[in-house]
Amino acid sequence: MNAGTSIKTRTCEPVLASPCVDEASVNEFVAKVESQLAQGAKLIEIDCSLLVRVTSSHINGLWLAHERCQAEEASVELTHMSDGLRRVLEALNLTRFFLREAPGPARFALEVLPAAEHIDTAMSKVVSFLTKSGLPEITAFELQTIFYEIMTNIRLHGQLQPDDLISVHVKVEEHKVTLSFSDAGVSFDPTSHDLDVEAREAGRQRQCRGFGLAMVKGLSESLKYARTADARNQLIITKSW
């Protein structure tokens, strides 16, 4: 990784901040941070999702983590903060030690030919972008699955010409990703179909198709479809975490 790059490198799993306030829990939490620093991590992510009721013990633990990181010339980043925690940090004037400036949405766009190898290449680029944008690994994986299923559906059923391009836009905001797909294929509104799968019935019918859109629906927060004036399918999918 080049010096000065703004790409975040997470070398270890996030450290979960414990909601317990006893000294042993705080010490255990700090020990986990120290363990990652000992492995050479330069960015420690602290998952604050369990810190619902914030006390001085929690702040003390976070400050100790910050001090350990400073000593090793590493950075600490808090994620999944509650509004309460954020307000406490602001009141104590500690935000500059833990919070980066909120960036604007990160965007990525590409146009893809409707062939399997091009879709695979595009998928790798999208996954790389999502990973660098700091999404949790499971979320990036689910979005990869959504991307693959939608693009493959367009490729197999859209009746596109080999040189027709599928446009893809990816927007990453805080805790939300929007995927937009646009193609010139035959009109197809996935939201108008019954996408639910009944497993036992599918097994009885020996069903081997039709799972892709059900996967997309199950992994997405919302699906919106429109047929544009220039005869393109437009599908917008959102996912939050």
Partner 1 sequence: MSSKEFEITAPHDDTRIIRTGTVLDNSNAEEFSSLLMDIYSSGAKHLIIDMSALEFLSSAGIGSIVGTVELFRERDGDIVLTQVSDKIMKILAVLSLASYLTVCRSTEEATTRCRG
- Residues 162-166: contacts with CB under 8 Å, at least 24 apart: 162/113, 162/114, 162/115, 163/113, 164/113, 164/114, 165/111, 165/112, 165/113, 166/111, 166/112, 166/113, 166/114
Instruction: Out of 24, 38, 204, 229, name the contact with partner 1 by CB under 8 A.
Output: 204
Counting residues that bind partner 1 (by CB under 8 A) gives: 28
- Of residues 116 through 145, those in contact with partner 1 by CB under 8 A are 116, 138, 141-142, 144-145
The answer to whether 157 touches 197, Cβ cutoff 8 Å, is no
Tell whether residue 194 is a contact of partner 1 (CB under 8 A): no
- Of residues 3 through 32, those in contact with partner 1 by CB under 8 A are none
Closest CA to 236 of 226, 221, 224: 224
Instruction: Out of 124, 207, 222, 240, name the contact with partner 1 by CB under 8 A.
Output: 207
Stretch that binds partner 1, among 3-11, 146-154, 160-168, 171-179 (CB under 8 A): 146-154
Instruction: Out of 57, 75, 79, 152, name the contact with partner 1 by CB under 8 A.
Output: 152
Q: Which is nearer to partner 1, 199 or 229 (CB)?
A: 199
Closest CA to 172 of 234, 222, 107, 223: 107
- According to DSSP, residue 107 is labeled E
**Which residue ranges make up the site for partner 1 (CB under 8 A)?**
116, 138, 141-142, 144-145, 148-149, 152, 156, 197-200, 202-204, 206-212, 214-215, 218-219
